[in-house]
Amino acid sequence: MIVTLAIGACARGPAAPRAPAAGANRAGAPPVADTAAPTGGRGQAGGAQAGGGRGGQAGGGVQEPSPQPYGRVVTAEAQTRAGLFKVHRIGPRLLFEIPRDQLGRDQLLVSEIARTVLGSGYGGQAVGNRVLRWERREHRVLLRSVSYEARADAGTPEYRAVADANVSPIVAAFNIEAYGPDSTMVIDVTRTFTQPPAEIGPGTRIPGTIDAARSFVDRAVPFPDNVNVYSTLTFAQAAGGGRGAAAATPFGAQANTNPSNTIEMSWSFHRLPDPPMTPRLCDDRVGYISVTFTDFTETGDRVREKCFITRYRLEKKDPSVAVSDPVKPIIYYIDPATPRQWVPYFKRAIEAWQKAFLEAGFSNAIVAREAPDDPDWSPEDARYSVVRWLPSTTENASGPHVHDPRSGEILNAHIQFYQNVENLQNAWYFAQASAVDPRARRFPFPEDLMGRLLEYVLAHEVGHTLGFPHNMKASSTYPVDSLRSVSFLRQWGHTPTLMDYSRFNYLAQPEDHIPVELLVPDIGPYDRWAAMWGYKPIPSAGTPEAERATLDEWAREQDTKPWLRFSTSGSAGSDPGELTEAVGEADAVKATGWGLANVKREVAFLLPATTRPTGSYDDLRDLYGRLVGQWRTELNHVTAVVGGADSQEKYGSQNGVRFMPVSRARQKQAVQFLNENAFQTPDFFLVDDILRRIEPSGSVARILSAQSGILNSLLNNNRLLRLSEYEHGVRPGTAYSVLELLADVRNGLFTEVRANREIDVYRRALQRSYVELLSTKINPPPPAAATAAGGGRGGAAAGPQLDPRMSDIYPAVRGELGALDALLRDGIGRSSGMKRAHLEDLRHRIEQALNPKS
């Protein structure tokens, strides 16, 4: 088993003598030689001003330590509370009393902005977390930041080598003011929390510089396993602003330009578990958020990266039974600022995950509670997992968690639930479900519908905090026809996981009579299986390596149960089954055909849904734009078929390849569908009764933006490069080539020229866009201005990428422009008016593309 190494924690040098008893009248020797590295001495605590102050924390002029009798430092005026370590408040000063048994032990410091100023983030904003360790060096206490990014087996030469190469930075240094009973060390930490070091301060989230005269410690609350400190910090910034404010701005406020900004900062020192939880090794076939480190233990071949999944520590009360309550359940508290009508839905969202943990052998594994009526309870407390309700116009929610870097054990989670996610749910549900759910045809939605939508959002974020990342593969693993079957949906749902971006079942048609409760995703078979894989105990295995065979056997269930599969590593956007915002992409053409039928129906609902006698048309403008966006999104799912490769993550114990190029027939079908549905003018959107309410003009620009986006996706360079490479790897005549793709697109975009028909203004704009797109492929902008095409899981490329100039793209595009020019030349003789002018202009653009001026 790997024994984790905290970098810089090795002791060097002889032990020092014990400190004097409490109350001695002379300065005593250091109590123990704990784990101090040879560096240290007059370390700096990171205060912004020089001069040091009490405790000799920072800057030049640091005072020499001179411990005093305990009673002279911790006076009768001190307000003392005991916990992980004692805290003493004496007027504005804050003293920590560090016991010897906490020296050299890992503590996790979680920093948050508890309350903020308008224009700079939001209350409850996470700042960061880091592992810290208290050390004593002579009459000083050092606070070091500990890294677990590099490790080696204890007792090996590499263990010492890693320690020698990585010294833990000193975040703060404190003079020992007094020694207490059992040689506890009393230090003054006031300036650490009023002039925090860069490592634990708010960083650039609040503009300006801390003004010490307007900053102070509010309170410090110790508990058996943690100590929480709260400070008011005031920042002064020069005229014209300072450092940039946070992006997530509450209430829709503009960037913070206030001369002064006051926030409340929270720090929670949390005892890390001792011993650490037994970690579970990662597996690319199963989706888990992970902690990765470099293992320098010599194995005879190379230095390797190692990876542990992140998960809560769940242990059975009764290990002898198949399903047992846990010794300690996972508890999520609901922020008291949450509107009361949503609290029951939030509780259901959290406890919905109980059925997933049943597969892992745990009943009542996760529990929802409302925040207690306790003055010492705080949502920033690192002991608690909390759903925070944030007053922000941001249309989102997020589910970060804090984990022990030594083992991957999740310690807490603070879910950030932005209030305006309600608006996002309005738009999504209208665009995807109003064709079959009459409740969605009028705003505001009824409370039961909005509550269910918020419940869905929160359940997804809870999944992230339990260790589950997105799994975009899942929604392509069901037969697409089944997604319109009531009996299938009741048993399986429309996606195997809540962690996909497969929102609402937009394939369901009115004639299917799908109950509305089946339109919203729920915990699915993948969720239950993944929870089993990551959380189920394996009692027969004593080490992470010993679990490997069992975990591999579980993972190979994916071979016969495709709905258990996870996104393929390195697919880099090539897999048409790994799409966001998709339902039924196992057959994107069929699925999108049904989805577009509903979009056309929903145009008729726009005016009734948004019109209010005393309201403006802002809601109509917004919803109309989002419905056009839904149309574009669904059509982009079809572009992914072209140049695509179906994939399955596999390890050596499984047969077959990971990537299989899509057949020529499927690709040609996809392009034909796009020609008929994406590149024809969408007249159903061009309703004068709507357009002339929201704008005097703009429909051409809006439709062109959507269509050219689809066209750019279809012809992006990564897709063309894959087509070219796949053509070499199959039997001659069976591949879909770059030249055939361009010819098929040309035939779809320029049907009016061949048929000698008029070309409407929308098609003319799209045809120009096509020529300009091809032009940029052979005359690309300078590298600094160019943006990478393609993308995928993590946006990373699957492997080496060929320079397009060295690929088939250049000759294919030149050949396509020549063929198009010939078609246009023939069409001009049969044209007049704007059509003729348009065709002549296209020929001029082609000439410029093929023969650019130097």
Rounded Cα distance between 128 and 489, Å, is 41
**778-782 CB contacts, 8 Å cutoff, 24+ apart:** 778/810, 778/813, 778/814, 778/849, 778/850, 779/849, 779/852, 780/804
Asked, as a colleague might, if the bond just before 20 is cis with ω within 30 of 0, I would say no
Rounded Cα distance between 824 and 822, Å, is 5
Give the torsion through C-alpha atoms of 120, 125, 131, 132, to 10 deg: 60
Whole-model pTM: value is 0.87
Please report the beta strands in 371-433, taking only residues with DSSP state E, as ranges in sequence order: 385-390, 397-398, 401-403, 410-418
Sequence-ordered list of residues with C-beta below 8 angstroms from that of 697, at least 6 positions apart, any chain: none
Asked, as a colleague might, if the bond just before 69 is cis with ω within 30 of 0, I would say no
* DSSP structure string for 427-471: HHHHHHHTTT-GGGGSSSPPHHHHHHHHHHHHHHHHHHHTT----
The alpha carbons of the chain give a radius of gyration, in whole angstroms, of 31
Residue 44 confidence (pLDDT): 30
Residue 19 confidence (pLDDT): 37
Query: CA 167 from chain center: how many Å?
Result: 31
Query: CA 162 from chain center: how many Å?
Result: 31
Residue 584 confidence (pLDDT): 97
Residue 754, token pair as written in the block: 């061949």
* DSSP structure string for 658-714: SEEEPPHHHHHHHHHHHHHHTSS--GGG--HHHHHHH-SS-HHHHHHHHHHHHHHHH
Helix axes 421-433, 618-639, angle to 10 degrees: 60
Helix axes 588-603, 664-677, angle to 10 degrees: 10
Residue 27, token pair as written in the block: 């300065």
DSSP annotation of 75 reads -
What is the domain partition of the chain in residue ranges?
70-271, 715-854
Residue spans of the chain under pLDDT 70 = 1-62, 119-124, 238-257, 784-799, 854
Rounded Cα distance between 739 and 718, Å, is 15
Sequence-ordered list of residues with C-beta below 8 angstroms from that of 652, at least 6 positions apart, any chain: none
